[in-house]
């Protein structure tokens, strides 16, 4: 066995897979956030986001660090409210209620996962819908599903923002979403449906996953299992959005898609890191700005 992979020969098919990076797009969104934050501050309002954490999960920690760093650079004030991984559901609820009642707070996000015995859907109902910048309150979810104005979960919004940024047509196209969490898979599917795509949702109980994913013009994968999607799961020319972010032993992040395997087959693939993640963070702040503007 060789320890290093030989580079692909010049002119090989892998050159045709476009890297659908999110860093540039995120930068643009952050620039909008910064100028809107500056305008708000002239009006005496400091946009403020509160992140409620009750987990030691590494993937969540990555995200929280990324939110705090990006907020600091963009003129958004960010409070990390860490109630501890041993918090009770009532501890989390109390924190969410206090932040909902605090008029200086414009955005609230509750990180997943939660401690055993704390139900996300149940707790998210305590987030003031006006401050629900990650679309977690069942009221926001229902409105989104009904096609009414509401904040979409930032990750699902980031999937659509990337597809739009790279001008991927959606109306009438076949989109397959792998993963059905309320935070990512389900809302992403709803947003795609709203854009007139034909949408299939796959999950743990889907038999013969590849049978469905191979039908996809656009494949969105949000599972959290590195290497789940291989060359046999996609059809030539597919656009693949990899939402997965699993921390690796080396301190990096791994997506759900076997990048080497699908390269040359997919028309485009989002990298991990540097794809959906940065756009998610930027959009969360963008939502916070919109909430602060309404408040002002
Ligand atoms: N980049 C970003 O901005 C973000 C990245 N993430 C990452 O995305 C990933 C998914 O997050 P999240 O939705 O919260 O995770 P969840 O664990 O809540 O959901 C995972 C989903 O994947 C499904 N699933 C599990 N195994 C399989 C399988 N073998 N085949 C098909 N489906 C499967 C599950 O199905 P079932 O429902 O049947 O159990 C479930 O619906 C994680 O890696 C997370 O870190 C999350 C949010 C933002
Ligand atoms: N209620 C809730 N909503 C979430 O959206 C949510 C959550 N809980 N719990 C944890 C997961 C994980 N997640 C990530 C988002 C961005 C990056 C991200 O920005 N990653 C960068 C790298 C980060 C960095 O460089 O600091 C990248 O992919 O390039 C990672 C992970 C959101 N999640």
pLDDT digits (tens, 9 = 90+) for 228-257: 999 999 999 999 999 999 999 999 999 999
Phi, psi of 60, rounded to the nearest 5 degrees: -65, -40
253-254 and 174-178 as β-strands: parallel, antiparallel, unpaired?
unpaired
**Residue 10: its pLDDT value, please?**
43
Atom of ligand 2 nearest to the CA of 57: 10
Per-residue pLDDT, 6: 54
**What residues have CB less than 8 Å from 294, skipping those under 6 apart?**
130
Question: Which residues sit with their C-beta closer than 6 Å to ligand 1?
Answer: 59, 112, 155, 158, 178-181, 183-185, 202-206, 209, 222-225, 228, 243-246, 276-277, 280
Confidence at 11, pLDDT banded by 50, 70, 90: very low
- For the Cβ of 59 lying below 6 angstroms from any atom of ligand 2, the answer is yes
Nearest CA residue ID for atom 2, ligand 2: 111
- Contact yes or no for 53/84 (Cβ under 8 A): no
Residue 54 predicted with pLDDT over 80: yes
257 and 232 Cβ atoms separated by less than 8 Å: no
Q: 21 a known binding residue?
A: no
- C-alpha closest to that of 203 among 178, 231, 240: 178
111 — pLDDT class (breaks 50, 70, 90)? very high
Q: Is 268 helix (H, G, I), strand (E, B) or coil?
A: strand
Which residues are CB-neighbours of 160 under 8 A, at least 6 positions away? 152, 188, 191, 192, 195
**Would you give the DSSP letter of residue 248?**
P
Q: pLDDT at position 12, please? A: 45
Instruction: Tell me which residue has tokens 């990298």.
Output: 271
* CB-based contacts of 82, cutoff 8 Å, min separation 6: 53, 54
Whether 114 lines ligand 2, by a CB cut-off of 6 Å, is no
Instruction: Kindly report the backbone phi and psi dihedral angles of residue 54, in degrees, each rounded to the nearest multiple of 5, phi listed first.
Output: -140, 50
User: Any idea which of 60-64, 91-95, 128-132 has the lowest mean pLDDT?
Assistant: 60-64
Task: For ligand 2, atom 1, name the residue with the nearest CA.
Answer: 111
pTM of the model: 0.94
Among 223, 247, 272, 274, which is best to mutate for testing ligand 1, by the most ligand atoms less than 8 A from CB?
Answer: 223
Residue 98 has pLDDT above 50, yes or no: yes
ipTM over 0.95: yes
Atom 22 of ligand 2, nearest CA residue: 273
Instruction: Give residue 15's pLDDT band: very low, low, confident or very high (50, 70, 90).
Output: low
Q: At what angle do helices 23-42 and 276-295 cross, to 10 degrees?
A: 20
Spatial distance between the Cα atoms of 221 and 177, rounded to a whole number of angstroms = 6
For residue 154, what are its two tokens?
Answer: 């930032």
Of the ligands numbered here, which is closest to the C-alpha atom of 112?
Answer: 2
Give the pLDDT confidence score for residue 296 in this predicted structure. Answer: 83
Tell me the domains of the chain and their CATH numbers. Answer: 15-20+154-277 (3.40.50.720), 43-134+278-291 (3.40.50.10860)
CA-to-CA separations, 34 to 50, 80, 108, 135, in angstroms, rounded: 18, 20, 19, 22
DSSP 8-state class, residue 134: T
Alpha carbons 112 and 54: distance in angstroms, whole number: 8
High-pLDDT (> 70) share of the chain, %: 95
Residue 126, annotated as binding a ligand: no
From edge to edge, which strands make up the β-sheet containing 239-242?
A: 18-19, 268-269, 239-242, 218-221, 174-178, 198-202
Is 245 known to sit in a ligand binding site? yes
Atom of ligand 1 nearest to the CA of 180: 41
Q: Is the pLDDT of residue 164 over 70?
A: yes
Atom 33 of ligand 2, residue of closest alpha carbon = 60
pLDDT(141) > 80: yes
DSSP H or E run through 59: helix 58-74
**Averaged confidence pLDDT in the chain:** 94
CA distances (Å), origin 75, targets 71, 80, 212, 250, 259: 6, 16, 44, 32, 36
Q: Is 22 in the pocket of ligand 2 (CB under 6 A)?
A: no
Give the pLDDT band of residue 59 (cuts 50, 70, 90): confident
How many other CB atoms sit within 10 Å of the CB of residue 124? 26
Residue found by looking up tokens 């990006």 in the block: 70
pLDDT of residue 291: 98
Beta bridge partners of 50: 79, 108
In this prediction, residue 79 carries a pLDDT of 98
Residue 62 has pLDDT above 90, yes or no: no
**CB 60 near ligand 2, within 6 Å:** yes
pLDDT for the residue numbered 202: 99
Question: Is 66 annotated as belonging to a binding site?
Answer: no
224 Cα to the center of ligand 1, angstroms: 5
Residue with CA at minimum distance from ligand 2 atom 26:
66
**Residue 14 pLDDT more than 90?**
no
């Amino acid at each position: 066995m060789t320890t290093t992979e030989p580079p692909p020969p010049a002119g090989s098919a892998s050159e045709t897979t476009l890297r659908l990076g999110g860093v540039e797009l995120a930068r643009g969104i952050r620039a909008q956030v910064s100028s809107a934050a500056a305008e708000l501050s002239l009006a005496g309002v400091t946009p403020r986001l509160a992140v409620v954490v009750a987990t030691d999960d590494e993937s969540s920690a990555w995200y929280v660090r990324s939110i705090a760093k990006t907020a600091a650079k963009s003129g958004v004030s960010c409070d990390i409210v860490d109630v501890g991984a041993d918090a009770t559901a009532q501890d989390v609820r109390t924190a969410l209620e206090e932040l909902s009642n605090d008029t200086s707070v414009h955005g609230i996000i509750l990180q997943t996962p939660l401690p055993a015995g704390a139900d996300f859907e149940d707790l998210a109902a305590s987030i003031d819908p006006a401050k629900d910048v990650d679309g977690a309150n069942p009221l926001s979810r229902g409105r989104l599903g009904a096609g009414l104005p509401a904040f979409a979960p930032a990750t699902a919004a980031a999937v659509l923002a990337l597809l739009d940024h790279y001008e991927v047509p959606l109306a009438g196209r076949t989109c397959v979403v792998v993963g059905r969490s309320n935070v990512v898979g389900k809302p992403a599917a709803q947003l795609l449906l709203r854009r007139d795509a034909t949408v299939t949702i796959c999950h743990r109980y889907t038999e013969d996953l590849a049978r469905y994913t191979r039908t996809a013009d656009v494949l969105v994968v949000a599972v959290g299992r590195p290497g789940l999607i291989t060359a046999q799961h996609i059809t030539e020319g597919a656009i693949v959005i990899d939402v997965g972010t699993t921390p690796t032993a080396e301190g990096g992040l791994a997506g759900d898609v076997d990048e080497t395997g699908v390269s040359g087959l997919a028309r485009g693939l989002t990298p991990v890191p540097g794809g959906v993640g940065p756009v998610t963070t930027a959009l969360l702040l963008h939502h916070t700005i919109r909430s602060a503007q309404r408040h002002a």
